[in-house]
């Protein structure tokens, strides 16, 4: 129970989408189920994967992250499965891959959408048979790992377009979690900002930087295209500029403090988002999560409702 509390505490946020995400993590974490985490760049997909790992029976075993971006087919196989001594020029010693390093624990494969067709086929075989071969070896090795994958693109769409293997997607997508973008999390922006400022203060041994009302307004108004990662970086810069005093708008980067045209649009946008969230959540709960019944009440098509459900992070509500 204590590990569970700590794991979920790492997922900071009080907005409905984050509360729902934490509920799903608490349900899926203790299982052996493979999970796919979808979210924009910078939303904290690896943090979600770590929480799933910490909540599982494998929590005291290794958690090994691997990013597939920019990795060629041969490099990917070597990185994942390792190689034998003499397998190729320069292989003067044998080397374990990420799968072996994660033995008994969890292998987190980020950006699985970037794998080529050949790499997808080899990874699918590994997932189905739980066996792999190091480059230069003929004897297969058994693997005891839980796989958690992640992307910042909709893999189901790529499957429909013929750009991704359907059978691999079905293997990865046994459980699916959606991490909401920061722009849809309302006051969580301030909660996270203060958390990062406290961490920066502890690291620099100076008093925590306080946020003035004008800074808070700017943080809530800005759309955060880089999500939580961008907010963390902004707070690190802010703390260095303010050095323990109350921060002003001048301490923010130009992009964050700049008001969009026709301002107070940010406040209106937040209010509209909150109202949309209430309406969609209410309709889903009243109709047991059945989109075909909830859509007519909202006056939209089932497809349009599904798009809103994904965008608002309400997957699974009412089910």
CATH number of the domain to which 43 belongs: 3.40.50.300
Residue 104 and residue 40 share a domain: yes
Out of 68-82, 113-127, 189-203, 232-246, pick the least confident: 68-82
pLDDT of 43 > 80? The answer is yes
How far, in Å, CA of 129 to CA of 252, rounded? Answer: 52
User: ∠ at Cα 59 (5, 127), nearest 5°?
Assistant: 125
Number of compact structural domains in the chain = 3
pLDDT > 90 fraction of the chain, expressed in percent and rounded: 44
Residue 313: pLDDT band with limits 50, 70, 90? low
DSSP assignment letter at 95: E
How far, in Å, CA of 177 to CA of 137, rounded? Answer: 37
Residue 95 and residue 84 share a domain: yes
pLDDT for 161-217, tens place per residue? 888 999 999 998 888 999 999 998 988 999 999 999 998 887 776 788 899 989 998
pLDDT mean over 298-313: 74
Residue 111 and residue 16 share a domain: yes
Residue 219 and residue 127 share a domain: no
Domain extent for 37: 2-180
Specify the pTM.
0.76
The CATH number for 246's domain is 1.10.8.60
Residue 241 and residue 280 share a domain: no
265 falls within a domain:
no
Nearest CA among 76, 74, 87 for reference residue 138: 87
Residue 73 and residue 174 share a domain: yes
Burial of residue 288 (CB within 10 Å: 0-12, 13-18, 19+) is: exposed
266 falls within a domain:
no
Residue 292 and residue 242 share a domain: no
pLDDT > 70 fraction of the chain, expressed in percent and rounded: 87
φ/ψ (deg, to 5) at 298 = -85, -10
Question: Helix or strand or coil: residue 8?
Answer: helix
Residue 27 and residue 173 share a domain: yes
Residue 263: pLDDT band with limits 50, 70, 90? very low
Question: Helix or strand or coil: residue 80?
Answer: helix
Q: Backbone dihedral region of 92: left (phi > 0), alpha (psi from -120 to 50 degrees) or beta?
A: alpha
Specify the pLDDT at position 177. 94
Helix residue ranges, H only, the chain: 2-9, 16-28, 45-55, 73-81, 98-101, 117-129, 155-160, 166-172, 188-204, 213-221, 227-242, 254-257, 265-286, 291-298, 302-312
């Amino acid at each position: 129970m204590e590990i569970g509390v700590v794991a979920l505490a790492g997922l900071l946020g009080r907005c409905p989408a984050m509360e729902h995400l934490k509920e799903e993590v608490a349900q899926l974490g203790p299982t052996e189920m493979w999970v796919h985490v979808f979210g924009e760049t910078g939303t904290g997909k690896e943090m979600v994967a770590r929480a799933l790992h910490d909540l599982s029976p494998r929590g005291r075993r290794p958690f090994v992250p691997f990013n597939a971006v920019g990795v060629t087919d041969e490099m990917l196989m070597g990185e994942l499965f390792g190689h034998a001594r003499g397998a190729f020029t320069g292989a003067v010693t044998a080397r374990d891959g990420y799968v072996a390093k994660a033995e008994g624990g969890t292998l987190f494969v980020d950006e699985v959408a970037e794998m080529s067709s050949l790499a997808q086929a080899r990874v699918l075989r590994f997932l189905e048979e739980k066996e792999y071969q190091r480059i230069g070896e003929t004897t297969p090795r058994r693997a005891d790992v839980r796989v958690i994958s992640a992307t910042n693109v909709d893999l189901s769409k790529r499957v429909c377009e013929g750009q991704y293997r359907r059978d691999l997607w079905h293997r990865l997508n046994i459980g699916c979690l959606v991490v909401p973008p920061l722009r849809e999390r309302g006051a969580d922006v301030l909660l996270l900002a203060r958390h990062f400022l406290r961490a920066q203060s502890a690291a620099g041994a100076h008093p925590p930087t306080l946020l003035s009302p004008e800074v808070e307004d700017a943080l809530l108004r800005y759309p955060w295209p880089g999500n939580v990662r961008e907010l963390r970086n902004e707070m690190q810069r802010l703390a260095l500029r303010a050095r323990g005093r109350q921060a002003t708008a001048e301490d923010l980067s130009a992009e964050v403090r700049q008001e969009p045209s026709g301002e107070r649009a940010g406040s209106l946008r937040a209010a509209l988002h909150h109202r949309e969230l209430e309406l969609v959540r209410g309709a889903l709960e009243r109709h047991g999560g059945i989109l075909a019944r909830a859509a007519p009440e909202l006056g939209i098509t089932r497809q349009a409702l599904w798009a809103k459900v994904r965008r608002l992070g309400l997957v699974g509500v009412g089910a």
